[in-house]
């Protein structure tokens, strides 16, 4: 055997040439024994033949491309020797001793001696494994491109389409024959042509354009929202020759985003509406909020609320609120008449939603207009929802219009119906509040009038009692009754004065006469007078020796101090001490009155300064109307000060007020 797997034999040029070829070359004699092979053949086989294993290359298995094992007698060399002809090419799979496989092209050429007899065969094996793998990859890529749900398009740098898969046909409506060879601009809307120049510039710079969201045009002209990924296409030398484009339809994603934004916007409107309506008890404000919110939610060009207020003929409704249009648009037209279109709403029979009201059978039946009056805002889409109170009465109707047909949906209908129910509750509460306010106003008016009217006869009675008291002898047994009667008249007079003060506070007419005085002296006088009239409690005063000068209404501040002292004594019947303190700090004078009585529950402390509020557990056995602290609080507030309470149930209470210094 002549082996050519060593160094090139410079003395044998032919052998050197064959040994250096980048293809496998080996020679078999006419019996199939390998007689010569080159370096590349050894590399391709994975080992070199040895004696006894060289007939028909016994250490390497050969398969056809469909996987059939080829026996030595079926080999291409055997075929050439048998048929006495050359075999130009046949593809096989070589399986080497280590189990690895190589795809090869097998060529054979017969060797003849000088007499023309066949002496052997030259075999050439070309390794096409890489080519087959590339073909497999290309086939796989082609299958992926063909079966992809995304449109995959390739184009030149000039924008000429060179490939077009099935998904592109479905997405854009053009067949492969219609698309290939045409410019990519056929898919680009006119107002987005500049995007193509930007994309080509990016691709030409070897940059990938990833997830670029834009709009492209269907064959019918319909715009499609897409996410584009564009990559450069290079030739074998690495030169950029074009671009591949993957286009994904994101219509559903965009619809979902818009739907989410729509829901978020509606939720924001509903939250804002719910909060504002819950915080308001004014009918006009509530109805305007309802009209504005529902007009915005439905996308109506204009919306209106008509109160269900009938005239003497039972046919007129009062426009109460309007949104999306000026009131002038309705003022000249009058109120909706009692036609078939409006009856359903204002009788509370149900919701009306019509895509085109002008084609509705209930529309246009009545003279003189037979439809919309001249100058009326254009209405095609129509939606009307009754607003019904919890008692079943129809408060009114919400009406919406749009100049385009089919603008209102079932979702709009449900939204407005829900808000209408919520609005009905708010309106019921507002009406109830209005009624209570009217009753309160009348009550306050009565208190003021009654107090004023009672003041004169009580004063007269007190005068007559004084005359009788002076005319009685000291030994007269009726003198004691007269004295007691005058005490009760005094209490009644004080009560009437308090009620008059309440009336003045409510009407904003409580008079204040400001003057500069010494609060230290005033507090001493008040406690001294109170101590003289009270024998059950010892009143202790803690105050600085220096004067504390304030600018206030002395009589009203005295009224507050006396009231707090009286309460401290009244609500501590089991105690015998009241502590009064006066100090000043940070431009404020502070007076506190502390008792050691029953104390005040925290829940009652929240309402203690409210008008006519009385603590339940003491109201039964201690007289009063619950207006003294209310008056004190108002007086101190009017002075720019603050009245507060600090108390624990069973441990007494401390009332304190602060007013500014002079």
Give domain status of residue 395, yes or no: yes
Residue 626, domain CATH? 3.30.565.10
**Residue 507 in this model has a pLDDT that exceeds 80:** no
pLDDT of 309 reads 64
- Where is the domain boundary, 470, 493, 509? 509
Note down the domain range covering 64.
2-133
Residues 540 and 651 in one domain: yes
- Where is the domain boundary, 133, 158, 173? 133
Give domain status of residue 301, yes or no: yes
Q: Which residue has the higher pLDDT, 259 or 503?
A: 259
How many other CB atoms are found less than 10 A from the CB of residue 157? 14
Residue by residue, DSSP assigns 557-584 as: HHHHHHHHHHHHHHT-TT--EEEEEEEE
Residues 394 and 527 in one domain: no
Residue by residue, DSSP assigns 610-654 as: STT---HHHHTTS---S-HHHHHHHHHHHTT-EEEEEE-TTS-EE
pTM given for the model: 0.44
Residues 442 and 301 in one domain: yes
591-617 mean pLDDT? 83
Please give the C-alpha separations between residue 422 and each of 296, 350, 387, 416, 428, in angstroms, as whole numbers.
17, 17, 9, 10, 10
Beta bridge partners, 35, equal none
Residues 232 and 89 in one domain: no
Residue 235, domain CATH? 3.30.450.20
Give domain status of residue 444, yes or no: yes
Residues 546 and 638 in one domain: yes
pLDDT tens per residue, range 234-279? 887 889 988 989 999 988 888 888 877 777 777 777 777 777 666 6
205-225 mean pLDDT? 91
Give domain status of residue 318, yes or no: yes
Residues 471 and 595 in one domain: no
User: Looking at the 3D structure of the chain, how many domains does it have?
Assistant: 4
Residues 116 and 232 in one domain: no
pLDDT tens per residue, range 10-58? 456 767 777 778 888 888 888 778 888 888 888 888 877 665 455 555 5
In the structure, what pLDDT confidence band is assigned to residue 307 with cuts at 50, 70 and 90? confident
pLDDT of 564 reads 93
pLDDT of 220 reads 93
**Residue 312 in this model has a pLDDT that exceeds 70:** no
Residues 245 and 267 in one domain: no
**Residue 551 in this model has a pLDDT that exceeds 90:** yes
Give domain status of residue 138, yes or no: no
**Residue 217 in this model has a pLDDT that exceeds 90:** yes
Percent of the chain with pLDDT over 70: 81
- Where is the domain boundary, 107, 133, 159? 133
Residues 377 and 481 in one domain: yes
Give domain status of residue 140, yes or no: no
pLDDT tens per residue, range 324-362? 877 666 554 444 555 666 778 878 888 889 898 877 766
pLDDT of 333 reads 42
Radius of gyration of the chain (CA): 53
Residues 378 and 499 in one domain: yes
Residue by residue, DSSP assigns 253-304 as: HHHHHHHHHHHHHHHHHHHHHHHHHHT---HHHHHHHHHHHHHHHHT-SEEE
Residues 440 and 377 in one domain: yes
Residue with tokens 């406690």: 527
Which candidate, 539, 585, 548, 564, places its Cα nearest to that of 628?
564
168-186 mean pLDDT? 93
**Residue 579 in this model has a pLDDT that exceeds 80:** yes
121: exposed, middle or buried (C-beta count within 10 Å: 0-12, 13-18, 19+)? buried
Q: Are the C-beta atoms of residues 413 and 353 closer than 8 Å to each other?
A: yes
pLDDT of 334 reads 47
pLDDT of 588 reads 92
Which candidate, 240, 237, 229, 246, places its Cα nearest to that of 206?
240
pLDDT tens per residue, range 367-410? 444 455 555 567 889 998 998 888 888 888 888 989 899 999 99
**Residue 4 in this model has a pLDDT that exceeds 70:** no
Q: Which residue has the higher pLDDT, 341 or 556?
A: 556
pLDDT of 370 reads 46
Give domain status of residue 363, yes or no: yes
Residues 581 and 437 in one domain: no
pLDDT of 596 reads 93
Percent of the chain with pLDDT over 90: 19
533-540 mean pLDDT? 89
Residue 393, domain CATH? 3.30.450.40
273-282, 298-307, 428-437: which range is least confident on average?
273-282
pLDDT of 500 reads 64
**Residue 594 in this model has a pLDDT that exceeds 50:** yes
Give domain status of residue 254, yes or no: no
pLDDT of 186 reads 94
pLDDT tens per residue, range 605-649? 888 888 777 776 554 556 556 778 888 898 899 899 999 999 988
């Amino acid at each position: 055997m002549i082996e050519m797997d060593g160094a090139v034999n410079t003395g044998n040029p032919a052998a050197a040439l064959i040994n250096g070829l980048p293809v496998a070359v080996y020679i078999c004699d006419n019996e199939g024994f390998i007689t010569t092979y080159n370096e590349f053949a050894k590399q391709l086989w994975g080992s070199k033949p040895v004696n006894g294993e060289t007939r028909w290359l016994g250490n390497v298995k050969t398969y056809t491309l469909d996987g059939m094992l080829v026996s030595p007698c079926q080999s291409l060399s055997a075929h050439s020797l048998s048929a006495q002809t050359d075999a130009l090419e046949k593809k096989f799979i070589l399986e080497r001793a280590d189990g690895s496989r190589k795809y090869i092209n097998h060529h054979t050429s017969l060797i003849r001696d000088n007499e023309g007899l066949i002496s052997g065969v030259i075999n050439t094996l070309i390794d096409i494994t890489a080519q087959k793998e590339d073909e497999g990859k290309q086939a796989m890529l082609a299958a992926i491109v063909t079966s992809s749900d995304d449109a995959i398009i390739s184009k030149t740098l000039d924008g000429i389409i060179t490939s077009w898969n099935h998904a592109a046909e479905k997405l854009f409506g053009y067949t492969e024959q219609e698309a290939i060879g045409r410019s990519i601009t056929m898919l680009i809307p006119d107002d987005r042509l500049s995007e193509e120049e930007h994309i080509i510039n990016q691709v030409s710079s070897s940059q990938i354009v990833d997830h670029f969201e834009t709009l492209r045009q269907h064959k019918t002209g319909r715009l499609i929202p897409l996410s584009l990924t564009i990559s450069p296409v290079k030739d074998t030398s690495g030169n950029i020759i074009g671009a591949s484009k993957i286009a994904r339809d994101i219509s559903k994603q965009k619809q979902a985003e818009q739907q989410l934004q729509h829901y978020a916007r509606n939720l924001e409107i509903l939250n804002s509406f719910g909060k504002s309506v819950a915080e308001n008890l004014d009918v006009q404000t509530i109805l305007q909020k309802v009209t504005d919110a529902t007009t915005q939610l439905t996308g109506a060009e204009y919306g209106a609320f008509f109160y269900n207020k009938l005239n003497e003929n039972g046919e007129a409704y009062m426009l109460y609120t309007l949104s999306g249009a000026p009131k002038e648009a309705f003022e000249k037209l009058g109120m909706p008449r009692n036609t078939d279109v409006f009856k359903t709403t204002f009788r509370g029979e149900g919701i009306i939603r019509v895509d085109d009201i002008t084609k509705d059978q209930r529309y246009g039946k009545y003279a003189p207009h037979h439809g919309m009056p001249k100058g009326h805002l254009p209405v095609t889409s129509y939606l009307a929802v009754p607003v019904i109170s919890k008692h079943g009465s129809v408060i009114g109707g919400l009406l919406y219009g749009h100049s385009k047909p089919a603008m209102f949906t079932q979702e709009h209908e449900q939204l407005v119906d829900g808000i209408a129910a919520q609005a009905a509750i708010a309106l019921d509460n507002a009406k109830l509040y209005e009624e209570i306010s009217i009753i309160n106003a009348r009550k306050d008016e009565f208190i003021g009038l009654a107090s004023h009217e009672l003041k004169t006869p009580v004063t007269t009675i007190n005068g007559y009692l004084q005359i009788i008291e002076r005319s009685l002898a000291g030994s007269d047994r009726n003198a004691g009754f007269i004295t007691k009667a005058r005490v009760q008249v005094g209490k009644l007079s004080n009560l009437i004065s308090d009620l008059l003060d309440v009336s003045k506070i409510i009407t904003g007419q409580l008079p204040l006469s400001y003057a500069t005085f010494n609060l230290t002296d005033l507090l001493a006088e008040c406690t001294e007078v109170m101590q003289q009239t009270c024998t059950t409690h010892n009143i202790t005063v803690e105050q600085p020796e220096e004067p504390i000068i304030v600018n206030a209404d002395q009589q009203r501040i005295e009224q507050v101090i006396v009231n707090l002292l009286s309460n401290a004594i009244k609500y501590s019947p089991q105690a015998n001490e009241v502590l009064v303190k006066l100090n000043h700090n940070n431009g404020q004078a502070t007076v506190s009155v502390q008792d050691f009585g029953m104390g005040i529950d925290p829940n009652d402390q929240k309402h203690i300064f409210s008008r006519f509020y009385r603590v339940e557990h003491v109201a039964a056995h201690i007289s009063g109307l619950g207006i003294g602290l209310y008056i004190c609080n108002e007086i101190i507030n009017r002075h720019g000060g603050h009245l507060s309470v600090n108390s624990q149930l069973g441990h007494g209470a401390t009332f304190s007020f602060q007013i500014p210094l002079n």
